[in-house]
Amino acid sequence: MISQDALIKYIKEAMPDAEVTVKDRTGTMDHYQVQIISEAFEGKNLLDRQRFVYQALNDPMKDGRIHALEIKSQTPTEATSA
């Protein structure tokens, strides 16, 4: 289990400009959906965006605090035009 604040903190460490929305998908604090808007995704395809987020959350992923993660990654321009 990991708290939403701790999750956001990890993400912000890798992407200080990120706008992060977190949803606990099962109420067990280890199946999260995260929506991240950040410049860091600019020019990255979906696979590399996901890799980048997984790297930011490497520790809680490795030690099992996060069991499953659904990632929605957008750049600011994509977010505004979506």
Partner 1 sequence: MANAADDEIKKEVAEHKILIYGKGTKSMPMCGFTQETIVFFNKYGYDFEVVDVLRNAEKREALSQMTNWPTLPKVFIDGQFYGDTDILDEMERKGEVEPLLKKAFGDA
Catalog residues that contact partner 1 under the rule CB under 8 A. Answer: 46-47, 50-51, 54-55, 58, 61-62, 68-71
Report in angstroms how near the CB of residue 50 gets to partner 1 at its nearest: 6
Question: Between residues 6 and 46, which has the closer beta carbon with respect to partner 1?
Answer: 46
Tokens of 4: 């939403």
Q: Is 16 helix (H, G, I), strand (E, B) or coil?
A: coil
The sign of the dihedral angle between the CA atoms of 54, 60, 63, 66 is negative
Question: Between residues 71 and 79, which has the closer beta carbon with respect to partner 1?
Answer: 71
Report in angstroms how near the CB of residue 9 gets to partner 1 at its nearest: 19
Question: Between residues 6 and 68, which has the closer beta carbon with respect to partner 1?
Answer: 68
The strands making up 31-37's β-sheet, listed across from edge to edge, are 19-24, 31-37, 68-74
